[in-house]
């Protein structure tokens, strides 16, 4: 797609993932894309689309130090198999330093723990980029129901970028069907019953079939903050 004309909001919502990737890269001057990746299935599907257009797209993984062993192993496997340009975004303190100073902050104050180990490293990692691809979907949570495929965002330090969710309108069945068709390996934790996978101490199997993220943070919150810290510019 060359010499792109700007589309109306409703036309953007109708774009297929591959066309949306081309569209956002085409309309963004000096486009510098990145992708934040948890290595869950929808993220692997997004990555499958994005890396066809940008083979060396920076893949930002929020390396909190608290992920499941299975997640680390799967990350390393896919980085090797897909030759990914992985960027581990880490907090200022290692997990050992963090726990020595603050104890088990993820139990007493998960919001502060997420701020230190996810939000702050992400904000810093996003600085070089102006297009931020995500695997967010409206179906994932009530907090994501109004998600738009392209949103203008501004981080608390004033950095502006396009936040692009190419699967915003996909449901889980569509995600898994696509992953199967493209022979994308699956993070093994799904086979154990997990439906939303983050840090190990804050992830349980959801008991609510209507909310895949209900097993996160013991149901006390639905978002870690990485998708709420930046402000949507209207």
Beta-bridge mates of residue 153: 161, 232
Contact letters for ligand SF4, residues 122-161 (x by CB under 6 A):
----------------------------------------
224 binds ligand SF4 (CB under 6 A): yes
Phi, psi dihedral angles at 172 (to 5 degrees)? -60, -40
Nearer to ligand SF4, 201 or 219 (CB): 201
Cβ proximity to ligand SF4, 64 vs 149, nearer residue: 64
Counting contacts by CB under 6 A, is residue 219 touching ligand SF4?
Answer: no
Using CB under 6 A as the binding rule, whether residue 110 contacts ligand SF4 is answered as: yes
34, 37, 113, 224: which is the annotated catalytic residue?
A: 224
114 noted as active-site residue:
no
CA atoms of 26 and 223, how far apart (whole Å): 31
**Residue with tokens 């909310």, as numbered in its chain:** 211
Q: How far apart are CA 152 and CA 162, in angstroms?
A: 5
- Token output for 171: 């449901």
The CA distances from residue 28 to 24, 80, 183, in Å, are 6, 30, 32
Annotated catalytic residues are: 224
Site of interaction with ligand SF4 (CB under 6 A): 64, 66, 106, 110, 113-114, 117-118, 198-199, 201-202, 224
């Amino acid at each position: 797609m060359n010499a792109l004309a700007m589309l109306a909001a409703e036309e953007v919502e109708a774009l297929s993932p591959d066309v949306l990737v081309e569209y956002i890269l085409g309309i963004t001057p000096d486009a510098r894309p990145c992708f934040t990746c948890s290595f869950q299935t929808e993220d692997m599907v997004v990555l499958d689309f994005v890396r066809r257009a940008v083979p060396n797209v920076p893949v930002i993984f929020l390396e909190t130090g608290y992920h499941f062993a299975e997640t680390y192993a799967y990350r390393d496997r896919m980085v090797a198999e897909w030759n990914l340009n992985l960027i581990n975004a880490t907090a200022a303190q290692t997990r050992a330093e963090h726990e020595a100073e603050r104890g088990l902050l993820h139990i007493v104050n998960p919001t502060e723990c997420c701020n230190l180990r996810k939000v702050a490293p992400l904000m810093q990692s996003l600085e070089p980029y102006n297009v931020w691809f995500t695997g967010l979907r409206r179906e994932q949570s009530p907090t994501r129901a109004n998600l738009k495929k392209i949103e203008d965002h501004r981080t608390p330090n004033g950095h502006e970028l396009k936040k692009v969710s190419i699967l915003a309108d996909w449901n889980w069945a569509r995600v898994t069907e696509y992953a199967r068709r493209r022979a994308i390996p699956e993070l093994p934790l799904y086979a154990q019953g997990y439906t939303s996978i983050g840090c190990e101490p804050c992830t349980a199997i959801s008991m609510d079939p209507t909310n895949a993220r209900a097993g996160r943070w013991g149901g006390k919150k639905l978002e870690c903050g990485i998708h709420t810290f930046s402000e949507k510019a209207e």
